[in-house]
Amino acid sequence: MPTPPGRERDDAAAAADNGGVDGWDILDRLIAGAPAHLVPGGRLVFTLFAFLGLRGACARLEAAGLEPSILARETHAFPASATKRLEHIRGLDTESPSPSRRCRRGVDRLVMQGRAKPR
């Protein structure tokens, strides 16, 4: 979850929500480290909210040498933790429709896959 500057917390409950200013801190580390742990054809699977950007997710996976794909997509209620950060999220440069128009109806959550390429 994108975290506005100065709003980071270090309690256990916040560990999953503090994704750095752009929301990618945890996923960037996960994606960068995954190839060292995957056999050819092995997969890294994770979820992200569409407002973080599908093209950005694919670019990060490709940069790590993984073949990106979407395994599933579903619409969820806009998360309460994101509602509290809505102004910050609106200011991010993503290719997804602005949460300002969609937050009351929901937000797409993507299940992404990065598959290790044959060596």
Residue 76 domain-assigned? yes
Residue 108 forms part of a structural domain: yes
Q: Does 2 reside within a domain?
A: no
Which residues touch 15 (CB under 8 Å, ≥6 apart)? Answer: none
Q: pTM for the whole thing?
A: 0.78
Least confident window among 4-8, 26-30, 90-94: 90-94
Answer whether residue 106 shows pLDDT above 80: no
What is the pLDDT, as a whole number, of residue 36? Answer: 96
pLDDT (average), residues 45-72 = 94
User: Is 41 inside any structural domain?
Assistant: yes
Q: Residue 91 domain-assigned?
A: yes
pLDDT at 2: 79
pLDDT at 108: 87
The answer on pLDDT for 30 being more than 80 is yes
Q: Is residue 7 in a domain?
A: no
Residue 94's domain comprises 12-116
Q: How many domains does the chain have?
A: 1
